[in-house]
Chains A and B, each alone.
Chain A
Amino acid sequence: KAGVTQTPRYLIKTRGQQVTLSCSPISGHRSVSWYQQTPGQGLQFLFEYFSETQRNKGNFPGRFSGRQFSNSRSEMNVSTLELGDSALYLCASSLASGGPETQYFGPGTRLLVL
């Protein structure tokens, strides 16, 4: 099976712009979670989608939003970009939500905001 894929892998944007990141989970996986990884804050949970519904949301401003499609692919959108949004954005997929199943991470999208 193909692993979790994320596109694009690298992105450069300027302050005030918006960006959309994409995550394709492993085939058959219905849960997709998003994390922001920065040197200062570490790995922080953004949100989780399961069967097209947002299941959990972390402590991020409303500029961060997401959605999940019927094929389980997920997108994350950040509007009005700020310098502090520069980070590695990781998504992780699993078969179900909340059970013992392993979550598999993608390679990440590295976003640089200038």
Chain B
Amino acid sequence: AQTVTQSQPEMSVQEAETVTLSCTYDTSESDYYLFWYKQPPSRQMILVIRQEAYKQQNATENRFSVNFQKAAKSFSLKISDSQLGDAAMYFCAYRSKNTGNQFYFGTGTSLTVIP
């Protein structure tokens, strides 16, 4: 089974600064999807950014970008110009192309934004 590892249980960043959250995964598949989801306190999970493994170009969504290193099985999330509203639990997730919509989630990184 696929496994997703987030080695940073907690991270903090000063407002307006940049922070990078790490994620590694293990798979024998060559084509798959990777995601970062954000779960604010007591609020529902929302998609931050998505990457398809066959695309070499790193995905970007406004202040959020990823560094996708397929050979290293690494998928880190960079948040630029951090805002107070970015404070949340961030989950990295893997989804195979062969098993429907089943996500494999990492354990999450709790991000604190310091004013």
**Contacts from A to B (Cβ < 8 Å):** 3-4, 31, 33, 35, 42-45, 48, 50, 55-56, 58, 90, 92, 94, 97-98, 100, 102-108
Contact = CB atoms under 8 A, between A and B. Distances in A.
5 contacts: A33-B101, A48-B102, A55-B100, A55-B101, A97-B100
B105 A43 contact: yes
Interface residues of B, number: 22
Contact of B43 (A4, A98, A100, A107): A107
A100 B33 contact: yes
Contacts of A42: 105-108
Contact of B100 (A44, A56, A90): A56
Contacts of B46: 105
B102 A58 contact: yes
B98 A98 contact: yes
Given A4-B44, A33-B103, A56-B100, 15 more contacts: A35-B103, A42-B107, A43-B103, A45-B103, A48-B102, A55-B101, A58-B102, A92-B103, A97-B100, A97-B101, A98-B98, A98-B101, A105-B37, A106-B44, A107-B43
B37 to A, nearest CB: 8
A51 to B, nearest CB: 12
**From DSSP, what is the main secondary structure of chain B's interface residues?**
loop
